[in-house]
Amino acid sequence: MLLSKKKLTVLALTAMTTFSLLAAGCGGESASNSSSSSSASGDIMQTIKDRGYIKIGTKVDVPLFGYKNPDTGELEGFEVDLAHAVAKKIFNDPSKVEFTPVVAKTRGPLLDSGELDAVIATYTINDERKKQYNFSDPYYTDPVGLLVKQSDNINSLKDLNGKTIAVPQGATTRKAVEDAAKAAGIEVKFAEFPTYPECKAALMSGRAAAYAMDTSNLAGYVDDQTKILPDKFAPQEYGAATKKGNEALAKIINDTFQEMKDSGEMDKLLAKWKLNK
């Protein structure tokens, strides 16, 4: 059936109008999503301010970084001080922070669920984790080391050939040790434990021949029966983590750390906790 020129013109105009509406709709949706994302990030900061404190996950079993002092019952350490600095930046009051104990296995899930606003807990930055969370710039770098009993006559990584090494669940330590063992031409086995004290206990009871973790963390577990081997590998960079979408909070944390680096306050804290290497 042939259509008149008038009908063709009407159909063309209708098609053009429909296309324009669809294009506007798509463009409007994109702008709306961008605005929504920005708004959500701002809403999170407003929620924190309205709440009156920031919720931060930290370690309680890592001397020098995040440790619950058994004598005072108080949390102390380098990362605890960093958390107080973030609270001061937001509220002008360093005490406006609620700490939640975390281990390697619980850090991510507590961020995902919204139970925590941020995690500052010897959290190693790597490409896989950066896909899941926002990370601040690194505030500390530390290689993986090995803690052994002095009585076991173990003096290097190669002496652990065929032996079991204790590592924390959910930490990047296992991969680092696996790679180092492969490079050294040896084979090792692993036993994973939820907490650092349990790793140390496994070493002392003979269930493991070594306890592997970041060297400065191990330093808090050295006693007259143990030593840290000279082998060091896979330097780990620590950063503060926040949930994707919380860019406003991530920026505040990163700005806080950068200001501390620029002013020399970060170096003073590292010296305070004997972490300035």
Q: Do domains 48-139+239-272 and 142-236 have the same CATH topology?
A: yes
Q: Does 7 have pLDDT greater than 50?
A: no
In the chain, what percentage of residues exceed pLDDT 70? 84
| Domain boundaries 48-139+239-272, corresponding CATH code | 3.40.190.10
Report, as an integer, the average pLDDT of 66-81: 96
For the chain, the structural domain boundaries read 48-139+239-272, 142-236
pLDDT of the residue at 134: 97
Third-level CATH fold of 142-236: D-Maltodextrin-Binding Protein; domain 2 (3.40.190)
Q: Does 19 have pLDDT greater than 60?
A: no
pTM (whole model) above 0.85: no
3-state per-residue secondary structure call for the chain: CCCCHHHHHHHHHHHHHHHHHHHHHHHHHHHHHHHHHHHHHHHHHHHHHHHCCEEEEECCEECCCEEECCCCCCEECHHHHHHHHHHHHHHCCCCCEEEEECCCCCHHHHHHCCCCCEECCCCECCHHHHHHEEECCCCEEEEEEEEEEHHHCCCCHHHHCCCEEEEECCCCHHHHHHHHHHHHCCCCEEEEECCHHHHHHHHHHCCCCEEEEEHHHHHCCCCCCEEECCCCEEEEEECCEEECCCHHHHHHHHHHHHHHHHHCHHHHHHHHCCCCC
pLDDT digits (tens, 9 = 90+) for 75-110: 999 999 999 999 999 999 999 999 999 998 999 999
**Model confidence at 120, in pLDDT bands (50, 70, 90)?**
very high
Q: Does 14 have pLDDT greater than 50?
A: no
